[in-house]
Amino acid sequence: MTIRILLADDHKIIRDGLRALIEKQPGMEVVGDAENGRMALELAAKLNPHVVVMDVSMPDLNGIEATRQILAVQPQVRIMALSMHADRRFVTEILKAGASGYLLKDCAFEEMIRALETVAAGHTYLSPSIADLLVQGLIKEPAEQGATAFGVLTSREREVLQLLAEGKSTKQIAKECHVSIKTVETHRRNIMAKLGIYSVAELTKYAVREGLTPLDG
């Protein structure tokens, strides 16, 4: 069986590089690539890949929320997270969202192929350093867990917060999320009340700090 792969990363050079390398492998085919999480949703529905290589930090819709939304309608798809972040919070949240693996972007290409084959076969793959990170987290059980955006806000509120932080208007957010302007305004009030933050500038800083939106936009 040829493994059908969708690439989702906001850097074209990474998408192009991965495509060139993966397509040299027998039994693997890159069926499409997306520059943000929302495009990944659309292409996953259209192309029905076996595996999505998902960058964790992307504009418009981050990889964690994109993973959750893809798997809600396509539970058979396998998600391989690929990130520059060796951060327990990101790892934990994307695995909770349903990802089957987590690789760091500085991994060797041979490890990437091994991970794709493992995930496509229905198993889980974690980079050794990521596995160590999770084990240490279980041992230490940090008190701050649950105090993050992922513990405080709902999935929809995180989505709205990311779009607010990226400068989208209420009307634009309503259109992208397929909800009414009034609903977006309600989400915005709830976000501010939950976080105790009442300016867009401070919400933007919070969203970047929590990894909801990439620093480089």
Domain 149-209 in CATH 3.30.565.10? no
pTM value > 0.85:
no
pLDDT digits (tens, 9 = 90+) for 31-78: 999 999 999 999 999 999 999 999 999 999 999 999 999 999 999 999
∠ CA(18), CA(23), CA(29), 5° rounding? 105
Q: Enumerate the domain spans of the chain.
A: 3-140, 149-209
The reported pLDDT for the residue numbered 89 is: 80
- Residue 141 confidence class, pLDDT cut points 50, 70, 90: low
pLDDT value for 217: 42
d(C-alpha 206, C-alpha 165), whole Å: 9
Distances (CA, A) of 15 to 24, 47, 145, 164: 14, 17, 33, 26
What pLDDT, in 10s, does the model give residues 77-134? 999 999 987 878 888 889 999 999 999 998 889 999 999 999 999 999 998 888 887 7
Topology of 3-140 in CATH? Rossmann fold (3.40.50)
